[in-house]
Structure 1
Amino acid sequence: MKKKFNIIVVILLLFIICSVYGIYCYERRHSDDVLGGVYIGQVYVGGLFREEAEEKVKKYVEENLNNTVTLYYSDKIWDLNPKEIINVKLEKAIDEAISEGKSGNFILRFFNRLKLSRIPKKIDLAAEIKVDPFKAIIERISKDIARKPQNARFKIVDDIVMIEKEIEGIQVDTENLKQKILDAIWSQEKKIQVPVITIKPEVTSEALMKMNIKVEMASFSTKFDKTQVGRSTNIKLAAKKLDGYIIPPGEVFSFNDAVGERSSKEGYKEAPIFFNNEVISGIGGGVCQLSSTLYNLALITDLEIVERSNHSLPVNYVPLGRDATVNYGLIDLKFKNNTGGYLLLHAEVKEDTLTVKFYGSKKNDKKIKIVTEVVKKIPPPVTVKEDYSLEKGKIEIQEGRPGYQVKVWKIVSHNGTQEKKLLSIDTYNPTATIMFVGKKEPPAKTDPTKSKESAKTPADNHPPSEQPETVNQ
């Protein structure tokens, strides 16, 4: 019995040894091929050597990359050539397929082979989008369908306050589209609806309706010379910035913040400005007419003036003491909305007239009157200047203008009562009267006793206007 048992054990050991050796030999012969049950994408590569797997998968990739992918959104269509934007990492997939199940010793690899025969392994074909070609596609699509969100806004039509509804913005969802294109390469479906992201506007018509802005509260207009093209352009540009501006209750309005910097980059032109008691040319000239017009609107609406400065010289578009100069970053016009409700600012230019208006929830029941009192008239000083272009002994006078010191009062009538309040005390500088005194010497007389030849000396060869003593820079 014991002898029989030993024989069985020996036979069993021989069987195990032969089996293990057989497994070892098999695994050694097949160490360079792909284990059965392995797919790369939709391609079965089990049992293939590297070169065979590469050729089979490469053919599959080329067939798919040659199929046009169609992108669409609404009625817009764009055809896409995958070859131009897709980079497939074929080598990586082949390496992964070759190494699949081959970790550990030959016995473990054998059992991995058995496992893969029952549960196949699919290796994804790694693909990536080429940055620049994809960017060009996004730009092409965006040009056709993208739009910025538009806020709801108030619109004044024949002095009636209306609300234009907001419009949502649209932009291409680039990351989502990128993934859809990668998925479509290996799919039978080659049509992709372009995914988009909707952008909500900051201001909705519902929010505007809650502001309860419905009636005109006050209006003020000034005139300008529309033949001064640069100045007219500046007034229109700045007025456009203010039109539709909303001032919440209790908020301080800043002219410089609302209008922004006045620069050539923003489209502003050169026009006359005041500088050191003189009129010179500067970028943005004329914008002070808008700030002054707005200042008067704030006064007659009985708003609280927070910051305001008068010009150094009188202006001709508003009465003395009722102007407001501005200089971006230096001098501002500020007032506070103390009405208790929202204010809508409307600014428009028609022909030679600039008009600003406030709209709110109810009409102003106060009667506002602005009065200017001239406290003192300042005579212009006299300045003497020598003029070498004016004949000696002659005098020409350029009349200056007087300066003023003024007080501005606000008279408020309400419910049978009247209140008088001092708004400002302003000083406007005079411009000097200039007396030009002629210094030009008369031309030298020719001596008739001298011959014509002797008169032609180098010093006398120049015409009078070229003589050094007559040059005036």
Structure 2
Amino acid sequence: MTLWESDTDTTKSERPGGRIVVVVIVLLALLAGGGYAAAYGLAGDKVPRGTSISGVDVGGLSRDAAIAKLEKAFGTRAKEPIEVTVAQSASADAKESVEPGEIGLDIDYAASVDAAGAGASWNPRRQWDYFTGGKDVDAVVHIDEARLDAKLTALSEGLGKPPKDGQVLFTADGVKTTQPEAGEEVDRDDAWTAIVDAYLGDEKSVVLEVAAAQPDIDSADVEEAVDSFANPAMAHAVTLVFGENEIRLAPRKFAAVLSMKPENGKLVPAVDQAALTELVKDATADGKPVDATVKLVKGKPKVVPAKPGVSFDPAQVATVFQGLLTAPEDARSGKVDAEVVDADFTTKDAKALKIVEKVSEFSTYYPHADYRNVNIGRAAELVDGTILKPGEEFSLNGIVGERTAENGFTDGYIISNGILKKDLGGGVSQMATTTFNAMFFAGLKDIQHKPHSFYIDRYPVGREATVAWPTVDLRFENDTPYGILIRAWVVPSNYSRQGKVTVQMWSTKVWDIDSKTSARYGYVSPATRTLTTPDCEAHTGWSGFQVDVTRIFRKHKESAVDHTEKFHTVYTPSDTVVCKKPGPPPAGADPGDD
């Protein structure tokens, strides 16, 4: 450290050896002459003669004067930043300017002067120290250890080699571990002294040395964590009991909620309460029960079990769960306080539906138009997954709802008063026709269907249906003793291929259905209309006619006809429309899109 020079000259008579002799003689003379009081008065609260504090000469000064001199000497410098360099730093810029205030670094001037021996006292030792003093003492420096530690940690990060704790990880495949690795960090033992020296010195710079940094969690800690918790936790399933309902959680399921976190040099178990809560909710229902249902899984019907409605305290669930993790296999079941509400439609009820096979399937095709992809696709999405219990009625309007933008539909073409016009939901009747035919060949009871007003040649003649919100609906009843699962999906069209919509009915097959279509009869020629409305669409008409379709019922796997059902359809002519200012029909606007 560079010492500050004294403000007074040092003469030969003041050299340490000579000075001590003179002081001793004077002190003895005073004492011999009864002058101890005089010695006390001479020393007062002054700093011992010849004393310096971190290079600043304060010897012989009163306490207040010494404090003032230190403040003057260090006042400005004590606020200047320190240039800190970390040896071997991997950072592109190995230097960092550290403000003293960042690490709570400052000088306690009063404490420094007091530590140097200032202060009045009748103690003979005090008198002796005053007259025979002359030491150089360090200033009293305060530093915020927490802030310094944070700064040293940040500087250590620049080395690019932090120590790595050993870890215990939980996966669906079991317990995994990562071994600890030593790293490098700023030498913390050396850093405090080096920074304080630089703070009090002239150059205001310091190079901090690098030391090996050992991880907090070593190999022994990892091994202990695996043996004491991780392996036992993942050895067997855990069962949580909610009233009369049990939830069995397999290790591969609950692995994601487990972790081991470093704490005081050890790995301690932790349970992610939020993740565990979601896991339990997946097996139950939060508050409200969920009915059982049937879905297709890999092309086969599968009962999705009912979920009881369970209201529980997540913290208690986590406590019970964690307490079971190290228990033996026959003791890994625990009760949880909960309010349980059973589902109305149980897993047993769903199995009783006997939805086991495909009983019908029908597909229709449509020419490309973006609005058809949107509207038919949205209708299929809403119908898909519908389950009809025995005696229940299907309503397409009831399931699909009003065709609005908010419900996912867009403008398309519909038939209104015998001509085409734009409206929301145009194209949904393609879904109605496809569903009607799937119902037809499943042998279900027709309640309400309305053919299109004029014939559209992409649909089966006499075996099709239109819908319009809210009056014109497609309705049929599941009049079998089994449940019906309806599947529906769309393969969208593009400029090079037609779109395709498919509807399937899954149940237990009751009927084998055939269809017989008569010849067309009762033809009626189209009229011609001339329109001047702005939304007029030019259109070439065709004749109307009548046709009969007979549905033939045979009991499944029997050859004899059980009964038949006749559908009589009258198609009106599709009138030719002439616009006063004719223009080409818009792209994709062919007849029959209601």
TM-score (norm 2): 0.40
For the pair shown, the structure with the greater C-alpha radius of gyration is 2
